[in-house]
Amino acid sequence: MRLCVATYFDDGFASIGDICAATLKCYAARHNFDLAIDRTLHSDRPPAWNKILLIQRLFDQGYDFVLWVDADALFLRFAPDIRAEIVASKDLFMVKHEMRRQLQPGAWLALDVPNTGVMLLRNGEWTRRFLQAVWDRTDYIHHQFWENAAVHDLMGYRFLLDPAKRNEPDANVLAHVAWLDIAWNSIPGKCASPEPIIHHYAGATERLGPMRADLARAESAMREGA
C-alpha cells in the first residue's frame, strides 16, 4: 500500500508551513510513507483550494492513500499509525469537531463541524468524484471556509454556512466517511483532545509562537520514540 503524507503552502505561509513540513517529514520517515510538500501549485483561487489539486495529483501518481495535513497544523506525536484507522468500507477519514453555539441566553446548540484540516483519503472512484464535486462548488471559492465550506454543503452540514439551515447529514455521502478521533485534528483552546497527535491552529490569530513551542515538544517526543 502506497501512502503519501501531503501539505501545500505558499510563500506567505512559509514560516508556519516549514514547521508543519518538518513534522510531516518525521512522521513519513517513521512509518515509511512518501512525502509531498508542495510549494508550487497555483490556481486562480485562494490557496486553501490547492489542497484539492494536490490530492488529485497524488491520486494520479498512483498513491492508494493520501494523508493531508494543513500547513497550520503539526504532529506532536509520531508513533500512532494512521493506517490503523483505515476501515475497508470507507473512503474518507476525518475529524468532526463539536462546537457549541449560543442561540439565545441559556440555549446552546451542539454543532458538528467536519474539518478538512486533516484528512486520510482513499484513492478510488468515490473519492475522486467527491473531490471533483468539492472543486466544482465555485460558489464557495471566496467563502471564509473555502473548500471546507463546500465539503460542509456536500455532506449536508449547512448550519455553519447559513444559520437558517439545519445540519442534515447526507447518508449517501456519510456512508463513505469515517470520523477519526479528535486527537488527529485537535484545535488548541477550541476543540482540543486530551492526547493530541496533531495540533491544528484553525482560525487562530497567533500561530507562529505556539507552533514553534509545539515543534520543540514534537522534537523531544521524537527523541523519546513517542
Question: Given the rule CB under 5 A, which residues bind Mn ion?
Answer: 70, 72, 117, 202
Amino acid at 166: R
Q: Rank residues 26 and 202 by Cβ distance to Mn ion and give the closer one.
A: 202
CB 49 to Mn ion: min, Å: 13
Cell numbers for 211, please give them: 507552533
* DSSP code of residue 19: H
Q: Which residue, 64 or 112, has its beta carbon nearer to Mn ion?
A: 112
Element (H, E) at 172: helix 171-174
Question: Residue 23 contacts by C-beta under 8 Å, 6 or more apart in sequence?
Answer: 74, 75, 76, 78, 215, 218
> Which grid coordinates are listed for 174?
456519510
**Rounded CA gap, 148 and 30, in Å?**
29
Residue 89 burial (CB < 10 Å; 0-12/13-18/19+)? exposed
Report the alpha-carbon distance of residue 128 to residue 136 in Å, rounded: 12
Cβ distance to Mn ion smaller for residue 117 or 196: 117
Contact 55, 124 (CB under 8 A): no
- State which residue, 51 or 77, has the beta carbon closest to Mn ion: 51
Cβ at position 151, least distance to Mn ion in Å: 13
Instruction: Quote the least distance from Cβ 202 to Mn ion, whole Å.
Output: 5
In the complex with Mn ion, the residue whose CB is nearer, 145 or 157, is 145
- State in angstroms the smallest separation of the CB of 212 from Mn ion: 17
Q: How far apart are CA 3 and CA 15, in angstroms?
A: 26
Q: Kindly tell me which of 17 and 117 has the beta carbon lying closer to Mn ion.
A: 117
Q: How far is the CB of 47 from Mn ion (least distance, A)?
A: 11
Query: What phi and psi values does residue 156 have, to the nearest 5 degrees?
Result: 90, 10
Q: How far is the CB of 117 from Mn ion (least distance, A)?
A: 4
Residue nearest to Mn ion (CB): 70
